[in-house]
Each structure stands twice: as structure tokens, then as C-alpha cells.
Structure 1
């Protein structure tokens, strides 16, 4: 019997009192048996606006407008991209506790200095919102030296289009 793994957002950057939750099946992105819970803001008329920074799903970013399935439980289409991008960093399990702590603090400081929004999934994975026209100016130098040593891994969340 397989168990579904849920990727959740404990502190979504766009949390409000009227958010809505929907799922994205992560199997098309290489995560069989996994679903990511995405926070949404209902819009007047048609669609929902993404209110969190996706951790695993590709082609989806903060403030994108999406359409749900007929049951209202799963995101099936991006209606209007926001122009935002997601920069993801994963701290390798090979890092010691102190190295991981130091790296997490360094990344967090860089995110704050760049005035960017972010969400952490556990202690080792961060998704960073990069609005249109912005860059990860201080974040990249904070991880570049350890990325070359494969102590952190990074990616852009739009290397693949959204698909279900």
C-alpha cells in the first residue's frame, strides 16, 4: 500500500483570513505519490491567485492566477502568469548541523538584504520569490561557493512548464 506524501506550507507569504487550499499532483515532476498543498486567494470572477511560494511544483509562482478542476480541489492550469520566478535552494544532507545552521542563516540574511520573500520547508529547503525585474543579487553569492562543492543544490522553478 502506498502512502501519499503531502508537501505543506506552514507559513505562506500571502496568508490571509480568506485563503483557499488546493493540491498539485507532483508525479509529473518526478515526485511519485506526492501532492503539494498550494495556498490561493479567490478572485472575483474566474480563478485563484497563488498565495505561497511553491516548493516542488514547476511552472507556478507567487501571484500566478490559476484554474481549479471541477471539484475545486486541484490546480489544473495557469491562466495568467505573474512574472514572478521561484529560486529554490536545498542544503545537502552531508552538511554538518553547524554548517547547515550557518548556511541557513547566511541565506536568510541575503534574502532579507535583497528584500525578497521566502518560505522554508523544513530546515534544508527554501523557496524564494523573485518578482519581475528583480534578481537574487545577494542570495547567489551566499551559496555559490558551496554549490560548487555540492553542499547545496539550487534551481529555478520555471525550468519546466506547469502541467497536470
Structure 2
């Protein structure tokens, strides 16, 4: 799952949103990677309860502060 904050957010507003998302990631025990302070990618393995994180991210999107996308990744494999 990836989330990108819209440009132009007030620094305090962005910092609060980032803190909420980091807390949600930590509470769910998930791995994440940040690119600057506006873009995060979160690894959500199958059978993981990430509902709290989803709610946090959905709020950011609904309130117009971010965009998100879900990507189903496949494990790397060698051609046969």
C-alpha cells in the first residue's frame, strides 16, 4: 500500500498526519519505507489486520490531504 500527501500542506498539518500514520504502522507491526516526508510504502502481508492503519489513511484521503493505492505484489521467481 502506498500513500502520497498532496503538495502544499501546512508543515504542522503534514507532521501531525505523518505521526498518525507512523503510529498506525507501528501498532500493526508492519514494515514501511518513507521517501522524504510525503510518500510512504507499507508492506501488508496476507492475513494481517491493518484495519486501524486503513482507517487512518482513509481519513487523510477523505479529507483531501493524500492519495493512496493498493498493489498486489507477487514474490520474485525465476523463469522456468
In the TM superposition, what are the counterparts of 1:124-163 in structure 2 within 5 Å? 124-158=38-72
Please list every run of 5 or more consecutive structure 1 residues that lacks an aligned counterpart in the other structure: 1-86, 160-164
The structure having more radius of gyration, on CA atoms, is 1
Distance 2:50 2:4 in 1: 15
TM-score for the superposition, normalised by structure 1: 0.42
Q: Report the aligned-residue RMSD.
A: 1.6
* CA-to-aligned-CA distance 1:130-161 (integer Å, 9 cap, x gap): 011114222111122221132111101239xx
Say which structure is richer in strand.
Answer: 1
Distance 1:108 1:100 in 2: 12
Describe the shift of the 1:125–1:139 C-alpha distance in structure 2 as closer, same or farther (beyond 3 A): same
Distance 1:106 1:100 in 2: 10
Distance 1:146 1:133 in 2: 24
TM-score for the superposition, normalised by structure 2: 0.81
Aligned to 2:18: 104
Which of structure 1's runs of 4+ aligned residues deviate more than 3 A?
Answer: none
Higher relative contact order (CA 8 A, sep 6+): 2
Please list every run of 5 or more consecutive structure 2 residues that lacks an aligned counterpart in the other structure: 74-80
